[in-house]
């Protein structure tokens, strides 16, 4: 379960940023996760609750937005949405595509007080 180590790193960044801005508590962490990131949303939420205990984010909520996977089609020169790395282009049905997005994970916003 790599979600635990992801949450540990996430809390470290959250604590650093909150302290740098002189906030004492984090209420909500808004996270964007790509469709191909391999992150299980339920596991991430569970691990987040465990890792937050005793930190500046104790009792904080984790809000996850899943970002769609995108690719570039070399045949028709368009950015397309894909659900698998083996998909063809929905416009030209070509297979000359390169995954462009969908494996990212980033903190979008922190709600603090």
For residue 92, tell me if it sits in a domain.
no
Position 113 pLDDT exceeds 90: no
For residue 96, tell me if it sits in a domain.
no
Q: Express each pLDDT in 99-109 by its tens digit.
A: 998 999 999 99
Position 1 pLDDT exceeds 60: no
Q: Tell me how many domains the chain contains.
A: 1
CATH number at 42 reads: 3.30.2320.50
d(CA 54, CA 50): 9
Q: Is residue 104 within 8 Å of residue 67, measured between CB atoms?
A: yes
Q: Express each pLDDT in 63-79 by its tens digit.
A: 999 999 999 999 999 99
For residue 95, tell me if it sits in a domain.
no
For residue 23, tell me if it sits in a domain.
yes
For residue 64, tell me if it sits in a domain.
yes
Rounded to two decimals, the pTM is: 0.83
Range of the domain at 28: 3-68+101-112
């Amino acid at each position: 379960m790599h979600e635990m180590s992801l949450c540990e790193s996430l809390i470290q960044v959250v604590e650093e940023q909150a302290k740098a801005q002189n906030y004492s508590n984090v209420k909500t962490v808004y996270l964007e996760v790509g469709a191909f990131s391999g992150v299980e949303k339920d596991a991430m939420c569970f691990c987040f609750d465990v890792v937050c205990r005793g930190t500046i984010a104790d009792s904080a909520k984790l809000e996850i937005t899943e970002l769609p996977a995108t690719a570039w089609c070399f045949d028709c020169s368009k950015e397309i949405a894909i659900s698998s790395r083996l998909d063809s282009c929905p416009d030209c049905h070509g297979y000359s595509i390169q995954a462009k997005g969908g494996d990212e994970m980033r903190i979008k916003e922190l709600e603090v007080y």
